[in-house]
């Protein structure tokens, strides 16, 4: 009799366990989104947990964690915990890291032993309608920048044959630089460039380390590219003397800020300095260009 009672209890426990709606079906929502580096994805990553009858299951614990890349969740952590609501949904907000590759978030769902649930998010590129060039984008504070030097072949664009323009871009006089940004983007003012560097700040690593590319700098003074700006030391070009200068030594980028009819402001980041500096430069010196998205 006791054995029969024990069997009945075990059987009842199994039935009760089955009625807990063990999740058998997981729906991914908002997969394969695009965003600039450092930017939060437009939509939350969501899953819907269903039982064998395709009914939503409430109260299932869900763990989102970074599988690939340096992205973070809304609380700047590398994992996020949620519990499914009455409609079976759990979600998180995800911000891309600075790697120019697809990044992944994996989902661990309590009581679920099916195939891994993985979300993939990819960096956003902007296509220049004039020539089809694709420019990686990065978000720094409230600003969105091209994460690469401009490569548009304008009538008077200069290319140093000693470096690949795919990394270093092309060089432009100040007057030429006014028209090389793609539609929807502009050459930054000095104030806009300063806003960006203020946002980046000197905490933990200097501005120089944060903005510099991880290769190409003189004496191996490479940067960490911590905000996706990835600035290569293209130097500049003295048009009158046909002289390329500073390759590997410094990155010089134009601003749209004019000083007088002969000079304008540019920003300079040198291999041997931790900061970015601003100088007045003759407009007929050709420098690299970065562009900022119009607000």
Q: Which of 57, 92, 123 is the last residue of a domain?
A: 123
Query: Is residue 7 assigned to a domain?
Result: no
Domains in the chain, number: 2
pLDDT at 1 over 70: no
* pLDDT tens track for 67-95: 999 999 998 999 999 999 999 999 999 99
The residue segments making up the domain with residue 119 are: 22-123
Measured between alpha carbons, how far is 64 from 244 in angstroms, rounded to an integer? 50
Phi, psi of 195 (to 5 degrees): -60, -45
- Which residues have a Cβ under 8 Å from the Cβ of 127 and sit 6 or more positions away? 133, 134, 135
Q: What is the CATH number of the domain that holds 54?
A: 2.60.40.10
Residue that finishes a domain, picked among 78, 108, 123:
123
Same domain, 150 and 280: yes
Which has more pLDDT, 205 or 195? 195
Is 220 inside a domain boundary?
yes
Task: Please tell me what DSSP assigns to residue 220.
Answer: G
The answer to whether the pTM exceeds 0.75 is: yes
Cβ pair 273, 252 in contact under 8 A: no
* Average pLDDT score over residue span 13-40: 77
Residue 82 tokens read as 């949620």
Q: Are residues 135 and 68 in the same domain?
A: no
Query: In the prediction, which pLDDT does 158 show?
Result: 95
From 105, 123, 141, the end of a domain falls on 123
Q: Three-class SS of residue 159?
A: coil
CA distance 137 to 290: 11
What's the count of helices (H) and strands (E) in the chain, helices before strands?
A: 5, 21
Distance CA 284, CA 139 (A): 31
Whether 194 and 252 share a structural domain: yes
Residue 12 has pLDDT above 90, yes or no: no
Is residue 266 classed as helix, strand or coil in its secondary structure? strand
Is 259 inside any structural domain? Answer: yes
Q: Are residues 77 and 182 in the same domain?
A: no
In a domain, 112, yes or no: yes
- Same domain? For 97 and 129 the reply is no
Note whether 38 and 158 are same-domain residues. no
Domain annotation covers residue 263:
yes
Together in a domain, 103 and 150: no
Residues 41 and 91 in one domain: yes
Indicate whether 16 belongs to any domain: no
Binning pLDDT at 50, 70 and 90, where does residue 24 land?
Answer: confident
* Residue among 175, 94, 182 nearest 146 (CA): 182
Asked if 227 and 140 touch (Cβ cutoff 8 Å), the reply is: yes
What are the two backbone dihedrals, phi and then psi, of residue 277, each rounded to the nearest 5 degrees? -120, 155
Q: What is the pLDDT of residue 4?
A: 47
93 plus 191 within the same structural domain: no
pLDDT tens readout for residues 125-147:
999 999 999 999 999 999 999 99
């Amino acid at each position: 009799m006791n054995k029969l009672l024990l069997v009945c209890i075990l059987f009842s426990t199994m039935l009760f366990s089955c009625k807990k709606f063990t999740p058998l079906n997981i729906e991914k929502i908002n997969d394969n989104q695009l965003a600039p580096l450092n930017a939060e994805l437009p939509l939350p990553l969501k899953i819907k947990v269903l039982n064998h009858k395709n009914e939503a299951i409430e109260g299932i614990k869900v763990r989102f964690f970074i599988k690939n890349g340096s992205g973070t969740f809304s609380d700047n952590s590398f994992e996020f915990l949620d519990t499914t609501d009455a409609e079976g949904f759990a979600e998180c907000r995800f911000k891309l890291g600075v790697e120019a590759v697809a990044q992944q978030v994996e989902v661990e769902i309590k009581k679920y032993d099916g195939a891994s649930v993985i979300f993939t998010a990819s960096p956003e590129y902007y296509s220049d309608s004039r020539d089809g060039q694709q420019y990686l984008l990065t978000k720094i504070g409230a600003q969105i920048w091209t994460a690469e030097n401009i490569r548009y072949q304008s009538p008077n664009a200069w290319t140093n044959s000693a470096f690949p323009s795919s990394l270093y871009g092309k060089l432009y006089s100040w007057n030429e630089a006014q028209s090389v940004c793609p539609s929807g983007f502009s050459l930054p003012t000095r104030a806009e460039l300063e806003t960006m560097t203020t946002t980046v700040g000197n905490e933990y690593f200097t501005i120089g380390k944060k903005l510099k590319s991880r290769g190409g700098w003189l004496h191996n003074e490479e940067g960490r590219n911590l905000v996706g700006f990835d600035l290569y030391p293209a130097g500049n070009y003295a048009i009158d003397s046909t002289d390329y200068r500073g390759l590997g030594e410094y990155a010089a980028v134009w601003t749209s800020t004019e000083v007088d009819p002969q000079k304008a402001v540019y920003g300079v980041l040198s291999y041997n300095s931790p900061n970015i500096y601003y100088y007045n430069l003759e407009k007929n010196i050709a420098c690299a260009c970065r562009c900022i998205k119009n607000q």
